[in-house]
A = this chain, B = another copy of it.
Amino acid sequence: MILADDQIQNHNQSETTSHRNELSQLTNLLSERGKNPESILRRLTGFQVAIPSWALGAGGTRFGRFSIGGEPRNLHEKIEDIGLIHALNCSSGAVSLHIPWDIPKDTDAIKEHASGLGIHFDAVNSNTFQDQPKQEHSYKFGSLSHTKKEVRNQAVHHNIEVIEYGKKLGSKALTVWLADGSNFPGQQNLRKTLNRTLQSLSEIYASMPYNWKLLIEYKPFEPNFYSMVIPDWGTSFLLANSVGERAKTLVDLGHHLPNTNIEQIVATLMFEGKLGGFHFNDSKYADDDLTAGSIKPYQLFLIFCELVDGIDNGNNDDFSNIDWMIDASHNTKDPLEDLLQSVEAIQTAFAKALLVDRNRLEEAREENDVVLAQEVLQDAWATDVRPLIRESRIKSGGAANPIQLFRDLQVRKTLIKERGIGTAATGL
């Protein structure tokens, strides 16, 4: 299903008056505070968040999965779905591909299809946490860190294959999330396992084009429940440092122990120039993979404060140098609506971070005026920036209210009609 431009225009017109009104109130307010709404709008508009190819169907837990209906049956339809999202919000013009769930058989056709919808290919993702039919060696006991050379070789080779697909599609980064680890004390020699991981990653790195990044994800537990080979940012950082300059750490918001100060990790990685990518989602307990901003919206804002500060003042080039992706699971929501909510929450956090009065904040910090520093930060945070987000969408040709339009147009119903009720997208 592809949206027609006038469907969006019609929708926007119905929202115009109140939106214009709210927008002008907000821009006046911002101007009074010395902020330039135009420059904020520009940065918002330029900010694109990739949609993962594995998150367009219903997700599930180990206890079950409830289908949503109309799920994309192949890569072509997945990109079509991302096209729908992007048409509505104009901020999701990228896909993060997962191999082998979404092997592009005809790369040229897929590329053209995506390009026609304004979508480019962000980081590609390998999968060595599941066995595929006809696979020679099992990953039951690990992949890049496996005790057996032949299994490691197979996993390294799979990653190189993924790079090959990525090259054809225009990707510039490989994301490695390693599920390797152990379930029981004693099961693994932890030092040897780390060493084998390092060797395997080095081989993969050596096979990457010179202008690619290797994004090394970390996660404290699941699917292994005693140790993971890359459990925390420190290990990812250590590996990235050993492997090479273009190896970087990828932060997934859901991959931290309880109470972790994630924004500080972001700041530290930016200090070292080692923040390579981001997986957005939200969680209350573990790797819950919930809609971004649904549980801890203030944390998301604090993270963007570090991102904005780190890019504007740190050892980092610019926002486009970091790979921005969503990584979520949609167990009970419509995946497309969920993704629209996630992107809006991310934009909101970004916009608010841009509103922070940095000069006043730095003065307060310099003088250890703790109360004032909080006031300055929360002044930006308390501001209702929704008119700005809306304006950014409208200006780019998107919908004033994407979810409303999605429902008005009965998109899901149409997808079910097109694809059937019992379809199940590959992915999690």
Given B64, B234, B305, B382, which contacts A223 in the complex, CB threshold below 8 Å? Answer: B64
Given B32, B129, B258, B374, which contacts A291 in the complex, CB threshold below 8 Å? Answer: B374
* Most B C-beta atoms less than 10 A away, residue of A141, A310, A314: A141
CB closest chain-B residue, reference A336? B371
A296 CB within 8 Å of chain B: yes
Which residues does chain B contribute within 8 Å of A272, judged by CB atoms?
A: 238
A259-B220 contact in complex given A62-B62, A194-B267, A264-B227, C-beta closer than 8 Å: yes
How many Å from the CB of A146 to the closest CB on chain B?
Answer: 8
**Cα–Cα, bound, A226→B184 (Å):** 25
Which residues does chain B contribute within 8 Å of A62, judged by CB atoms?
A: 60-62, 223, 428
**Cα–Cα, bound, A77→B292 (Å):** 45
A1 CB within 8 Å of chain B: no
**Cα–Cα, bound, A186→B301 (Å):** 11
Which residues does chain B contribute within 8 Å of A428, judged by CB atoms?
A: 62-63
* Listed stretches A84-92, A156-164, A326-334; interface member: A326-334
Q: Considering only CB atoms and an 8 Å cut-off, how many residues of chain A contact the other chain?
A: 108
**Cα–Cα, bound, A225→B331 (Å):** 10
Which residues does chain B contribute within 8 Å of A66, judged by CB atoms?
A: 131, 138, 140
Which residues does chain B contribute within 8 Å of A131, judged by CB atoms?
A: 64, 66
Q: What's the number of copies of this chain in the assembled complex?
A: 4
How many Å from the CB of A221 to the closest CB on chain B?
Answer: 4
CB closest chain-B residue, reference A314? B191
Given B221, B237, B289, which contacts A234 in the complex, CB threshold below 8 Å? Answer: B237
A290-B191 contact in complex given A63-B428, A337-B371, C-beta closer than 8 Å: no
A102 CB within 8 Å of chain B: no
A288 CB within 8 Å of chain B: yes
A268-B183 contact in complex given A220-B259, A233-B234, C-beta closer than 8 Å: no
**Cα–Cα, bound, A185→B361 (Å):** 11
Interface string of A380-407 (1 = CB under 8 A from B): 0111101000000000000000010000
- Between A and B, 6 residue pairs with Cβ closer than 8 Å are A18-B32, A62-B428, A186-B361, A186-B376, A191-B314, A338-B371
Given contact pairs A64-B131, A226-B284, enumerate 10 new A-B contacts (beta carbons under 8 Å): A63-B130, A140-B332, A184-B291, A185-B374, A191-B313, A221-B259, A222-B286, A231-B264, A238-B268, A382-B386
